[in-house]
Amino acid sequence: MTDVLISGAGVAGPALAWWLRRHGFRPTVVERAPALRHGGYKVDVRGAALTVLDRMGLRERVARHDTGMRLARFVDAGGRQLATMDAALFGGREGDDLEILRGDLARILVDATPDVEYLLDDSITVLTPAADGVEVAFARGRSRRFDLVIGADGLHSAVRRLAFGPESAYLRPLGHHIAICTVPARYAEERVELMHPAPGRTVGVYRTAGAPDARAIFLFPSPAEEPDRRDVHAQRAALTRAFAGAGWQVPELLAAAADAPDLYFDSMSQVRMEGWSTGRIGLVGDAAYAASPASGQGTSLGLVGAYALASSLVEAGGDPAAGFAGYERRMRPFVAANQQLAERNLKGMVLGSAAAIRFQTLMLRMMPHLPGRERMIRRITEPIRAAAGAITLPELPAA
């Protein structure tokens, strides 16, 4: 039986563990957080990723956790409504597409792998490759040998750093930062996305169906000096500087962010690599090919990537060289198509001038009354739809 260590218990890691365990591998998942994260920001699942959930038998379970969002409202600095938009269209969703909180999806995937060993509150510190495996040293637990090691540990992957070198060689910043945190429910409307666009920066806040609190999102140009990822105080100060003088309820949201225990603050970056494996060590999801939050496809890339990697290893009989090679051949076009979405989407998420904001809100107000409305909507959603389905998934043999 092939022993596989997977670093990261987000989306890609547990999904990969599910498929590997089903086909006779023995996966172990290590997660540096002391407990599985709840909530998080909402994410979309569409296209080929829905097929993966279908084949796992999890689509209905995920659908039961749908966010229930119904409307997006755009407001000016005084809180006056500029335009409204259907929430599904705002998120580029149509048909059977799903929207779920990232933490809820991760929990569903972990719950679906009860026979997988999870090592919480630990992390990989050293990887020592050998001809027949990888010796792994952990921050807390004893060293162990695995046949394969897979990094599913996100944009700032420790496995990628240990096996491939510093992340600066692989990260491609898109020029903007994103901050997300939990805020009191009073700042949002249930099942409504409140969006305040301002020149060069955007703020949003929403509350999903039945949620006891709300979540705020801040998009803004990257600061000249990026604060250390471990320095939350510096991150909050940078966020406050980025939105100095902003109207609407931004000052109140910034005050709430100062007390939020779950502030996420990072650059909008992609990961670009010439290869996703070395020897018996490989990468999946954001660790290998992050598309950035601007793509709206990070979760789908993680689910599809996990399936593609598992299927290639199964087809190769566990041989790492053949399995990793087949995985890359299958995934490269899909990754490229979805990464290309990011820069296009980002231009619509953060508008550069007051004139651009006026034009956008005018078009949103006029759209319901324009002839050919459905055709216009298809033009908006088609790039996402095409990228989400830009892969043919193989049929895995019976477990």
Q: Where are the domains of the chain?
A: 3-170+270-349+384-388, 173-268
Question: Please, which residues bridge with residue 99 across strands?
Answer: 44
Whether 370 shows a pLDDT value over 90: the answer reads no
Angle at 249 between CA 248 and CA 251, to 5 degrees: 110
- Residues, the chain, total? 399
Query: What pTM was computed for the model?
Result: 0.94
Name the CA radius of gyration of the chain, rounded: 21
Q: What is the pLDDT of residue 396?
A: 80
Name residue 138's amino acid: F
Domain 173-268: CATH architecture, name and number where available: 2-Layer Sandwich (3.30)
At residue 251's C-alpha, the angle toward residues 250 and 252, to 5°, is 90
Spatial contact of 169 and 160, defined as CB atoms under 8 Å apart: no
The distance from CA 325 to its chain's CA centroid, rounded to whole angstroms, is: 24
CATH architecture of 3-170+270-349+384-388: 3-Layer(bba) Sandwich (3.50)
| Mean confidence (pLDDT) of the chain | 93
Tens-place pLDDT, residues 121-153? 999 999 999 989 999 999 999 999 999 999 999
- Identify the pLDDT of residue 373: 66
CA 107 to CA 112: how far, in whole Å?
8
How far is it, in rounded angstroms, from Cα 220 to Cα 350? 7
> Which pLDDT tens digit goes with each residue over 229-240?
889 999 999 999
- pLDDT tens digits, one per residue of 46-89: 999 999 999 999 999 999 999 999 999 999 999 999 999 888 88
